[in-house]
């Protein structure tokens, strides 16, 4: 029986049944509560690896004058999503070499399972610089605020001696109170695992970079920031193709590029190429990086072949087998660089080892047997 509710209206006592409010079903309440908890933890612990854009081949098809067929060499792009976040406190830290060694051992285990030779740990100034830059600016992008790709800083800080690929990872954390362990603790092995196995959003570009047989060294650095409610742990992994012993390292000055050295017997020099890139106008919006469009190109292993749709630089170009099996390289090229921007000089080699592996990114087949063994960038 319903209870009556009575109240005074215009001098009369009026009574009417009181309506009961229907209680929500317990099942609905439990479902909503569970969804709220899941959403909270997704925001609290969220690792991020960027999405790549469609890659751009960096070498054009070869226009062959002789019956010999020359293969087009393409350089894949790396990836990271550009996100700008404002912080109050940026924290830099000393390197954890023990964690790095463990991560390299783990990466080599993964590579061995794929039949790929191991890598060695190497120190690069650019890796540490880029990690510190991410913590100071929270610009999670391969490009700096001035629109320069990482090849510029690699040349400035490490000489541009070898081929390199930059890989970035960020783990974001939200929540007040003390510094979360996900930000405070350094775990390079976890970063390697994420870059290799949790890379679907990046279309497996990081995975292919870390497993590419061309890369025989790895450099790592990390940093973090925390403002009391929001923070991030940044990891920077440079994969390095170190195959050349330089007599005279790469150098550009006064319109002239020079380099002289010996490449390993496994790496047959195929192309000398120069790429031009304008400054990136919106670094935070870029999900990947590349070294630009082909500007100059010279085929090194065939005097009768030319690069299609690219001007051939004048100068001396020698790439020949030495008595000890290595490849002697000597380049003295005239290169007039007149447009403002970044110019990247590369030597691309054919990997003669015949290693079979399976890239997973859409542009991954362009990696097989093709190695950038020198990457040197200048700013005009």
All structural domains of the chain, each given as residue ranges with its CATH number in brackets, are 46-379 (3.40.33.10)
Percent of the chain with pLDDT over 70: 75
pLDDT at 155 over 80: yes
**pLDDT-based confidence at residue 309 (cuts at 50, 70, 90):** confident
Nearest to 130 by CA among 88, 193, 87, 80: 80
Helix then strand then coil, % of the chain, to nearest 5 = 25, 35, 40
- Between 244 and 8, the more confident residue is 244
So what's the pLDDT on residue 34?
54
8 A C-beta contact, residue 130 and residue 237: no
For residue 82, give the 3-state DSSP assignment.
Answer: coil
pLDDT at 311 over 70: yes
* CA angle at 136 for the pair 132 and 141, rounded to the nearest 5°: 75
So what's the pLDDT on residue 61?
36
Gyration radius of the chain over CA positions: 28
pTM of the model: 0.78
pLDDT at 60 over 80: no
- The span from the CA of 154 to the CA of 160, in Å, is 6
* CA angle at 218 for the pair 52 and 55, rounded to the nearest 5°: 20
Nearest to 302 by CA among 131, 97, 71, 44: 71
């Amino acid at each position: 029986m319903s209870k009556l509710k009575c109240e005074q209206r215009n001098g009369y006592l009026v009574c009417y049944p009181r309506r009961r409010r229907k209680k929500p079903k317990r099942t609905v309440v439990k479902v909503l509560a569970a969804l709220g908890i899941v959403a909270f933890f997704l925001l609290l612990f969220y690792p991020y690896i960027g999405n790549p854009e469609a890659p751009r081949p960096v070498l054009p098809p070869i226009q062959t004058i002789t019956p010999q067929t020359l293969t087009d060499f393409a350089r894949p792009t790396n990836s990271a999503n550009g996100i700008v976040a404002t912080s109050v406190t940026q924290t830099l830290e000393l390197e954890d070499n023990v964690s790095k060694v463990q991560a390299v051992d783990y990466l080599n285990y993964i590579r061995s399972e794929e039949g790929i030779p191991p890598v060695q740990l190497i120190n690069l100034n650019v890796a540490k610089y880029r990690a510190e830059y991410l913590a100071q600016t929270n610009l999670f992008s391969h490009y700096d605020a001035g629109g320069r790709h990482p090849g510029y800083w690699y040349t400035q800080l490490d000489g541009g001696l070898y081929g390199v690929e930059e890989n970035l990872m960020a783990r974001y954390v939200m929540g007040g109170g003390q510094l979360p362990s996900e930000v405070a603790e350094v775990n390079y092995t976890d970063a390697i695992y994420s870059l290799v196995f949790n890379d679907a959003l990046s279309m497996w570009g990081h995975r292919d970079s870390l497993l590419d047989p061309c890369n025989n060294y790895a450099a790592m650095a990390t940093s973090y920031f925390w403002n009391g409610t929001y923070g991030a742990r940044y990891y920077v992994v440079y994969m390095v193709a170190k195959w050349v012993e330089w007599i005279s390292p790469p150098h550009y000055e006064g319109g002239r590029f020079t380099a002289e050295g010996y490449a390993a017997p496994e790496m047959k020099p195929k192309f000398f190429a120069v790429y031009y890139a304008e400054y990136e106008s919106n670094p935070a919006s870029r999900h990947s990086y590349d070294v630009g469009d082909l500007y100059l190109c010279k085929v090194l292993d065939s005097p009768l072949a030319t690069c299609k749709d690219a001007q051939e630089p004048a100068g001396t170009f020698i790439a020949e087998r030495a008595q000890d099996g290595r490849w002697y390289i000597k380049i003295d090229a005239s290169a007039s660089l007149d447009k403002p921007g970044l110019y990247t000089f590369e030597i691309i080699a054919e990997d003669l080892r015949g290693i079979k592996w399976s890239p997973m990114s859409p542009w991954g087949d362009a990696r097989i047997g093709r190695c950038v063994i020198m990457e040197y960038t200048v700013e005009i």
